[in-house]
Structure 1
Amino acid sequence: MSISATHAVRRAIPLRAPLALWVGAFVYAAFVLAGNHLLIDPDTMWQVTVGRWILDHGTVPTVDVYSFTMRGQPWISTQWLAQVAYAEAFARAGWAGPVVLASFCIAATFGLLARFLSQRLSESTTLVLVAAALALTVPHLLARPHVLALPVMMAWIGGLVGAADRRGAPSFRLLPLMTLWANLHGGFVLGLALILPIAVDATWNARASQRQALALRWAAFALAALAASCVTPYGWNSLLASQKILGLGEALPLIMEWRPADFSCVGSLEICLLLGFGLALYRGISLPPTRIVLLLGMLHMALSQTRSLESFALLVPLFLASPLAKQIGGPDGAKPAIAMPRMPVAALAAALLAGTIAWAPLARFEPHTRGSPVAAVAELKKLNLGRVFNDYDFGGYLIANGVAPFIDGRTELYGERFFVEHNAASGLMKPENLFRLLDRYDIEATLMRTQSAATTLLDHMDGWQKIYSDDIATIHLRKPGAVHGIEPAVNPQAR
């Protein structure tokens, strides 16, 4: 009887959900419960629109079919697979579909992070690093294509770092991950770029007699990874598209997510950096030279571009795990430091599924449109106009509602000069730009933020009649003979 009991315990232990699964379950539940946070970016709507177009036409776009300024110009969507996934999820479950899909991928990302760390560090240290990563990435975790690529990034970089920790070369079985990443999001270029420094780390720490052979194996893997990244509908053009984005020059600092980190007020990045520096000074933690280079490189990216913050938060713990384990201790022994409840993995998954099904109808998931020109676009569509000069932030909402924009978030399509000219026109840094663009493109109406400088100027321009205004957007209609001083008043509609 005692022997049977012993065997029962041994069989039950593998069914106990490990820390990584509990982390994933917690993150999934948290994001599903706060699901509308994932939909606060109106760009999610046009991502679904593009995905629907791909499904309807059975092909991926190669030219612009949305704007009237760049219609027919070459344009590819390096995130086509993520757009299709969001569109299919939306078709099956409404906005609950993208929320659940994004939440699952976020949960998988942090579950993979916890799994990698817990194999090298104690559970308490793992949870601290996971919590820090979550705090840094929360503002960037939205139902957009990059979120679907995050678990692929974690598995890819985790595989590379794991090989470096073993002083070996990565398995070629990782290559399908690169192909998947290249079809989900243009960030796959980071995965290619990190092969070289991680390979240097692996060979640097290997025995002298093994370095040449190891370097050749890494080189072969790098070439295979480059080839795998080209297995997309666009071939090697996906690589060129990423290069085009990075070459936008003066346009990049004008886009919010490409701006450098702002330390004018205390934020999560500053807190994490100060605590990390303090811990390193207090404990005397040191890193190998190659890991220092990786850490500083990722830090530079995070400080120079806020969109790189999630890569910094998720990947730096992978680089630090093995060196930290040698100095502050490795995984816990037979008795975990943190007691986790025992639950079969299948039961945990079933509980999450049941909770999702019960919560989705009550949550009423829908995009956050408080900053979108909802009422203004409804009025604009009644006019049936084809050439509307719009605010940059309104472009995605126009695409999602079937109105051809002047400009939208696909900055790589419009190019540096076009974007900078539009920014100078809408902000009246160069007022002549506004008049030149209005005439060059034979603009019939404008849809700009009510508080913008361009809106204020048009309020006082003859030939432009204000026909709608609320606290978000204002429409001016080109109307020969209109005199601003005697035009009918428009009462703002509070929202």
Structure 2
Amino acid sequence: MSVTTVHADHAAPALRTLLPVWVGAAVYALFVLAGDRLLIDPDTLWQVTVGQWISDHHAVPTVDVYSFTMRGQPWISTQWLAQVMYAATYAVAGWAGPVVLAAGAIALTFMLLARFVSRRLSDSATLVCVAAALALTVPHLLARPHVLALPVLVAWAAGLIAAADRRAAPSWWLLPLMTLWANLHGGFVFGLLLVGGLALDAVWNADASVRRKLFLRWFAFGLAALAASCVTPYGWHALLASQKILSLGAALPLIMEWRPMDFGSLGAFEVCLLLGMGLALHHGIRLPLMRIVLLLGLVHMSLAQGRAAEILALIGPLLLAAPLARQIGGNEVTAATASPFRGASVAGVAAVLVAGTIAWTAVHRFEPHMRTSPVTAVTELKKLKLSRVFNDYDFGGYLIASGVAPFIDGRTELYGEKFFVDHNAASGLMQPDNLFRLLAQYDIEATLLRTQSAATKLLDRVDGWQKVYSDDIATIHLRKAGAVRTVEPAVSAKK
């Protein structure tokens, strides 16, 4: 055998194990190059501001210090660690910092997904799963705390699913992941629920002789995971805060990312769902009962709340990998073998990504999406030196970042269901009386609303409110006694 053949034999498996690295590198490059897209959500602004506050005060918030409507009311940030990380990277590199941090977390998420799926399925099947997952998660991939928790979600779920596949209990080494998750984002509660679902899967499919012992081991792990989730500055109160978000009731459907899935037009979710159903019918795929239950539960969550599509996209392939491998064929679960070739390849990819990041951030200036933010309007508003301003919901994050106390902002759990619903009904004029009730109840001095909103058009036609500034994005109305409406109400003459 020649030396060349020997090297080729060692290089081939090394190249195959590099698939997750290529996936991670490609995803990272994509999101760094399109980095401004990660900054389109106005909530990113207040997330960084809260992180700066935590770093400056060396403490986590326990009451609201930003709004004037809820100032002093109990409020905790279950995503404090992610906020500090975003604020720290922003302090070092400006907006390039949060972009690189978020892009790195997204890349790690898909690298881990590819790694775990490729241990069961072929490379082509793995790439299909990764592509589908990317298509479903893209709408919610933003420089916000949940993105930093996505790699933890994948690693946690993969560890639990691997244990269920072996009909064994999860490794205790997974518990630090739960602690990290609980400090990054409130979604850790789903991770706790996942323990129960996969425990049933493992016990259901185990031999009758070991079911009781296996159940006790999973139960013990579940209790340990619950305890690990309380290792935060807030202790067990973080669990209550997450529950408070889920109990917002009528407020949730009014928030875009919490709305049920819309099938009014063909989208990525519908395409992936139909293709998955078609492939399952064509190949006659059969799944274990509990995997069917878990998968249907994830689909239901995605249909009920659009933001849950990312959970289905990332966990679905992990649930399906082992059953599919047994039916359509795949890779054997083997430990990755270390080799100089593989190590050198990973180091080379990392070096290229670091160099590319430095070069790109040197010539490209990242900045939040301000075309829908009231930048000039807030500058004018500050000149008025007012403290009680009724603002559009989407303007709240920019107001916090600008040092102006908002009426409402993206911390919906702080304001509660009734307050949020009342504000939405007022600004949208679903209940016009609500607008004037809130303006009087909170002694509002001015309004900062979208120029095209129904409430803005109404105030144009009401005496006592003077329009002092307006552009294509926002309009300021100042409460002023004796002010005459700027637009006459339209009156149709009777014939």
TM tier, smaller: over 0.9
Question: 1:177: which partner in 2?
Answer: 177
For 2:38 and 2:320, the matched residues in 1 are separated by 30
Question: 1:398: which partner in 2?
Answer: 399
Question: 1:72: which partner in 2?
Answer: 72
Q: List aligned pairs for 1:269-280, cutoff 5 A.
A: 269-280=269-280
User: Does structure 1 retain, via aligned residues, the 8 Å contact 2:119–2:332?
Assistant: no
- How much does 1:344 deviate? 1.6
Residue by residue, what CA displacement relative to the aligned partner does 1:367-386 show, whole Å, maximum 9, x if unpaired?
Answer: 01111111111111111110
Question: 1:106: which partner in 2?
Answer: 106
- How much does 1:10 deviate? 4.1
Question: 1:256: which partner in 2?
Answer: 256
Number of positions where the alignment pairs a residue of Structure 1 with one of Structure 2: 481
TM-score normalised according to structure 1 size: 0.94
Q: Which amino acid aligns with 1:161?
A: I
Question: 1:155: which partner in 2?
Answer: 155
User: Does structure 1 retain, via aligned residues, the 8 Å contact 2:120–2:332?
Assistant: no
Q: Which amino acid aligns with 1:158?
A: A
Q: Secondary structure at the match of 2:466?
A: strand
Question: 1:282: which partner in 2?
Answer: 282
Q: Secondary structure at the match of 2:476?
A: strand
For 1:266 and 1:147, the matched residues in 2 are separated by 26
Q: Which amino acid aligns with 1:127?
A: L
For 2:214 and 2:412, the matched residues in 1 are separated by 41
For 2:213 and 2:41, the matched residues in 1 are separated by 48
Q: Which amino acid aligns with 1:353?
A: V
Q: Which amino acid aligns with 2:397?
A: G
Q: Which amino acid aligns with 2:405?
A: A
For 1:358 and 1:485, the matched residues in 2 are separated by 52
Q: List aligned pairs for 1:44-443, cutoff 5 A.
A: 44-331=44-331, 344-443=345-444
Residue by residue, what CA displacement relative to the aligned partner does 1:103-160 show, whole Å, maximum 9, x if unpaired?
Answer: 0000000000000110000000000011000011111100000000000010001000
TM-score normalised according to structure 2 size: 0.94
Residue by residue, what CA displacement relative to the aligned partner does 1:25-49 show, whole Å, maximum 9, x if unpaired?
Answer: 1100111111111111121111100
* Identity level (%): 73
Residue by residue, what CA displacement relative to the aligned partner does 1:398-434 show, whole Å, maximum 9, x if unpaired?
Answer: 0011000000011110111111111111111111111
- How much does 1:324 deviate? 0.5
Q: Secondary structure at the match of 2:149?
A: helix
Residue by residue, what CA displacement relative to the aligned partner does 1:221-274 show, whole Å, maximum 9, x if unpaired?
Answer: 000000000000000000000111111111111111110000000000000011
Structure 1 runs of 4+ off > 3 angstroms? 1-17
User: Does structure 2 retain, via aligned residues, the 8 Å contact 1:83–1:145?
Assistant: yes
Judged with a 3 Å threshold, the aligned counterparts in structure 2 of structure 1 residues 444 and 217 are, in CA distance, closer, same or farther, namely: same
Residue by residue, what CA displacement relative to the aligned partner does 1:39-79 show, whole Å, maximum 9, x if unpaired?
Answer: 11121111100000000000000000000000000000000
For 1:16 and 1:125, the matched residues in 2 are separated by 13
Q: Which amino acid aligns with 1:36?
A: D
User: Does structure 1 retain, via aligned residues, the 8 Å contact 2:82–2:145?
Assistant: yes
User: Does structure 2 retain, via aligned residues, the 8 Å contact 1:113–1:314?
Assistant: yes
- How much does 1:363 deviate? 2.0
For 1:308 and 1:63, the matched residues in 2 are separated by 29
User: Does structure 1 retain, via aligned residues, the 8 Å contact 2:109–2:150?
Assistant: yes
For 1:137 and 1:130, the matched residues in 2 are separated by 10
User: Does structure 2 retain, via aligned residues, the 8 Å contact 1:16–1:345?
Assistant: no
User: Does structure 2 retain, via aligned residues, the 8 Å contact 1:51–1:80?
Assistant: yes
Q: Which amino acid aligns with 1:372?
A: S
Q: Which amino acid aligns with 1:203?
A: V
Judged with a 3 Å threshold, the aligned counterparts in structure 2 of structure 1 residues 405 and 350 are, in CA distance, closer, same or farther, namely: same
User: Does structure 2 retain, via aligned residues, the 8 Å contact 1:16–1:344?
Assistant: no
- How much does 1:6 deviate? 3.9
User: Does structure 2 retain, via aligned residues, the 8 Å contact 1:102–1:143?
Assistant: yes
Judged with a 3 Å threshold, the aligned counterparts in structure 2 of structure 1 residues 457 and 486 are, in CA distance, closer, same or farther, namely: closer
For 1:74 and 1:392, the matched residues in 2 are separated by 20
Q: Which amino acid aligns with 2:288?
A: P
Judged with a 3 Å threshold, the aligned counterparts in structure 2 of structure 1 residues 219 and 301 are, in CA distance, closer, same or farther, namely: same
For 1:312 and 1:401, the matched residues in 2 are separated by 37
For 2:287 and 2:2, the matched residues in 1 are separated by 49
Q: Which runs of 5+ in 2 are unaligned?
A: 335-340, 489-495
User: Does structure 2 retain, via aligned residues, the 8 Å contact 1:89–1:101?
Assistant: yes
- How much does 1:330 deviate? 1.1
Q: Secondary structure at the match of 2:448?
A: strand
Q: Secondary structure at the match of 2:390?
A: strand
**More off after superposition, 384-393 vs 4-13:** 4-13
User: Does structure 2 retain, via aligned residues, the 8 Å contact 1:122–1:332?
Assistant: no
For 1:149 and 1:352, the matched residues in 2 are separated by 22
**More off after superposition, 429-438 vs 259-268:** 429-438
